[in-house]
Amino acid sequence: MVAELTDLRLIVYDKIKQAILNRDLQSGMKLTVEDLTKMFGVSPTPVKEALIALEKEGLVENIPRRGAFVSVLTLKDVEELYSIRESLEGLCARRLTEKIDDTSIVELSNIISDSERYAKANDFLKYEEADKNFHKMMRELTGDKRLIYFLSILEGQLRLVLPVVNTLPGRLESSLQEHKKILQNLEKRNVQNVEFYCREHVRLEKEAVLADLKLRGLK
């Protein structure tokens, strides 16, 4: 019974989180326990616990006397998140280069091959999924659970403003080339270059995202 309840809480948490990340529940939207219980057909308890967990991840904001809302990011928030992510991706790069083996190199290469095929077909959604898999695998290969966790939190918050980054003009092809540079230097086990290109990848994405957000009037 306890295991079933725990599973239900995780399921509800994941459903609400995905609804936020997919922008079915958009930034600034009020989140009431009553509405969410109806939406997902569950009791109030797992919904309340999910909202508490999502607040800790920065995806939900609890405003006194007003209630819970999907978090809204400012331009400064986005800049700060990318700056932190750049530093952590650099750390990830160093640890990865020290641990990676030939089998993992081949697996990353296969992801890039898939990415190239999706890029040629202009299939943004499949490319985005391959992009996430590339970064997810790199992080998991470090074996650093805290690093993996904190990077996932940062990525989740950034998706509040732009769920599919590679739809930005020129970003898909640029992203693909950046991944190739990372892989080329991983093959050589060049720690400094892998760190440089991982950080550059984040910087270039940051520039593209900030330019788009400024055009859309985000302050």
Asked whether the whole model's pTM tops 0.75, one would answer yes
Q: How far is CA 127 from CA 42, 97, 182, in A?
A: 34, 24, 17
Could you read off the pLDDT tens digit of each residue along the chain, which spans 219 residues?
Answer: 334 446 888 899 999 999 998 888 989 999 999 999 999 889 899 999 999 999 999 999 999 989 999 999 999 999 999 999 999 999 999 999 999 999 999 999 999 999 999 999 999 989 999 999 999 999 999 999 999 999 999 999 998 988 778 888 889 999 999 999 999 999 999 999 999 999 999 999 999 999 999 988 877
Residue 30 pairs in a beta bridge with 69
C-alpha Rg value of the chain to the nearest Å? 19
Model pLDDT, residue 7:
82
Q: Are 73 and 27 in contact (CB under 8 A)?
A: yes
Model pLDDT, residue 165:
83
What domains, with CATH codes, occur in the chain? 2-70 (1.10.10.10), 75-215 (1.20.120.530)
Model pLDDT, residue 148:
95
Cα angle 176, 108, 78; round to 5: 50
Model pLDDT, residue 167:
85
Model pLDDT, residue 3:
46
d(CA 72, CA 171): 24
